């Protein structure tokens, strides 16, 4: 086939999930497009075949993008950790993220930012790639219903161990362990998987942070040695620090069932109570007041400090 024939066939090929994509941008092309059939990337981008890159995901609710600066700062740290320089300034990246979100023309949505080593070959040497790649996509996001928060979630100990410390603290493209955790949760009928490090200490969920509230009402958070410091968790710590005592330390598995509350914190769900762990009840099997307060603070902060689109 010639190029035109091949492109026609490519555009006619099945494209699962395209209905949810509203707008996207690729640095090489330099414009925003709204046809998801054209949301393609080079096969030889090391982002694709080596997992050599970093990413961020953020949401906007009611036309306000939440934690843009915090997400970009974390991406800077992740990129520095793997010696990756973006193809544009961080300021320009932030402006483009907002442009893509606006192009979606929706009140609620998600943004995915992928920063890769770039195209250049199928080897492993970063020197193959002369310029880093940048992809930004805006897609549908439906917040969880209030009934989910009122009922509470279930969690279990996954068979997948926590990542090695130096990898756990980088938000890299390589999320295979996270994928396997999520698959196992679905297979076993739980909402969230929780992983532990080689010392038996609580690390994180598949895409969320985890914390517990003890019987005295103190908030205990795993140290960020075996898990990623979540932007939502770090923000809510700042918001609630004058109301609740906060302790960073290693948390053993048995403490989960002894806790008054277990809380999942993340970008998409804000703060969610876990009411059963490994099929066993946590406290009175009802969402607790700290989880409710954290969610209230996040929603208020989003309204007051989110970046308007």
Average pLDDT in the chain:
97
Domain endpoint, select from 139, 165, 198:
139
107: helix, strand or coil: coil
Q: What DSSP element (H or E) covers 58?
A: strand 53-61
Same domain, 214 and 262: yes
Look at residues 116, 139, 162 and tell me which one is the last residue of a structural domain.
139
Give the chain's domain count: 2
Residue 140 is predicted with a pLDDT of 98
Q: What φ, ψ does residue 138 adopt, rounded to 5°?
A: -110, 130
Q: What percent of the chain has pLDDT over 70?
A: 100
Pair (255, 277) in one structural domain: yes
pLDDT in tens, 199-249: 999 999 999 999 999 999 999 999 999 999 999 999 999 999 999 999 999
Q: For 89-130, what is each residue's pLDDT tens digit?
A: 999 999 999 999 999 999 999 999 999 999 999 999 999 999
Both 125 and 171 in one domain: the answer is no
Does residue 168 share a domain with residue 43?
A: no
Q: Are residues 150 and 297 in the same domain?
A: yes
Q: Is the dihedral of CA 172, 173, 179, 182 positive or negative?
A: positive
Q: Is the dihedral of CA 94, 97, 102, 106 positive or negative?
A: negative
CA angle, 160 then 137 then 62, to 5°: 100
- Residue 112: which of 180, 25, 191, 199 has the closest Cα? 25
Q: Where does the pLDDT of residue 34 fall: very low under 50, low under 70, confident under 90, or very high at 90 and above?
A: very high
pLDDT at position 189 is 98
241-244 long-range Cβ contacts below 8 angstroms, 24+ apart? 243/293, 244/217, 244/218, 244/219, 244/290, 244/293
Helix intervals (H) in 105-175: 146-151, 165-168
Q: What's the CATH code of the domain at 222? A: 3.20.10.10
Tell me: the pLDDT tens digits for 251-300? 999 999 999 999 999 999 999 999 999 999 999 999 999 999 999 999 99
**CATH code of the domain covering residue 53:** 3.30.470.10
């Amino acid at each position: 086939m010639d190029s035109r024939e091949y492109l026609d066939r490519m555009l006619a090929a099945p494209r699962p999930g395209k209905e949810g994509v509203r707008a996207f941008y690729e640095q090489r092309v330099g414009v925003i497009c709204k046809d998801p059939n054209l949301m393609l990337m080079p096969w030889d981008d090391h982002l694709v075949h080596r997992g050599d890159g970093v990413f961020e995901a953020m949401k906007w609710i009611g036309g306000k993008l939440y934690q843009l600066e915090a997400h970009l700062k974390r991406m800077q740290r992740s990129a520095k950790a793997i010696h990756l320089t973006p193809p544009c300034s961080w300021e320009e990246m932030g402006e483009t993220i907002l442009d893509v979100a606006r192009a979606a023309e929706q009140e609620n949505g998600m943004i995915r930012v992928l920063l890769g080593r770039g195209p250049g070959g199928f080897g492993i040497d970063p020197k193959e790639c002369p310029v880093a790649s940048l992809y930004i996509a805006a897609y549908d996001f439906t917040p969880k219903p209030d009934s989910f928060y009122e009922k509470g979630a279930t969690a279990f100990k996954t068979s997948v161990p926590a990542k090695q410390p130096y990898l756990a603290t980088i938000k890299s493209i390589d999320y295979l362990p996270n994928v396997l955790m999520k698959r196992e949760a679905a297979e076993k009928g739980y909402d969230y998987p929780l992983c532990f490090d080689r010392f038996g200490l609580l690390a994180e969920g598949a895409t969320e942070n985890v914390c517990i509230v003890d019987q005295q009402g103190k908030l205990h958070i795993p140290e960020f040695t075996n898990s990623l410091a979540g932007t939502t968790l770090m923000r809510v710590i700042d918001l609630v620090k004058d109301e609740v005592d906060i302790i960073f330390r290693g948390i053993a598995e048995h403490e989960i069932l002894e806790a008054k509350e277990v809380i999942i914190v993340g970008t998409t769900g804000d703060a969610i109570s876990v009411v059963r762990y490994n099929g066993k009840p946590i406290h009175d099997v009802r969402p607790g007041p700290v989880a409710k307060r954290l969610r209230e603070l996040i929603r208020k902060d989003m309204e007051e400090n989110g970046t308007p689109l």
